[in-house]
Amino acid sequence: MKVFFTCAGALLLASLAGHAQTTPAPAATPAPTTVATDPAAPTTPTPIALAPVTPAADPNALKIKTEINPITHKLTVRCDAVGPTRVEINDKEGRPVLTKTMMAGTTPVTLNTAKLPAGPYVVRCTAGEKTGMRRVMLGE
């Protein structure tokens, strides 16, 4: 008989917990009441947090593909722009160290990086209002 009441109480608590999650809280809170808790009684399930929302892709962003050939010190850059595109390689302080303009971003441009010291760089492509960036590591 004791098992029956324990199971019935657990079902009632689960039902109330589910109802409390779907209905808004009342405007006034009732006075607190003292309830004796049984250590063997099941606990109320904790709510599961929702996953963060992924932001939408920027419509003005360009996709950039880079290929590095460490033997010949060449960097090949290709992006998805349809018109004239400016390719810029910036050092870690953000200063441009190499710049090249191409007529169509879909055709690859090859840049000689032999004179640049080894380290991290940012390749930035700009075509009208659209821009895109990609980090590269040169000289390794």
Write the DSSP symbol of residue 52.
P
Query: Domain spanning 64-138 has what CATH number?
Result: 2.60.40.3080
Per residue in 92-105, pLDDT (tens digit) is 999 999 999 988 76
The letter for the amino acid at 2 is K
Per residue in 68-97, pLDDT (tens digit) is 888 888 999 988 888 889 999 999 999 999
Confidence of residue 41 (pLDDT cuts 50, 70, 90): low
Residue 1's Cβ-count burial label (10 Å; 0-12, 13-18, 19+) is: exposed
Task: Tell me the domain boundaries of the chain.
Answer: 64-138
pLDDT at 1: 45
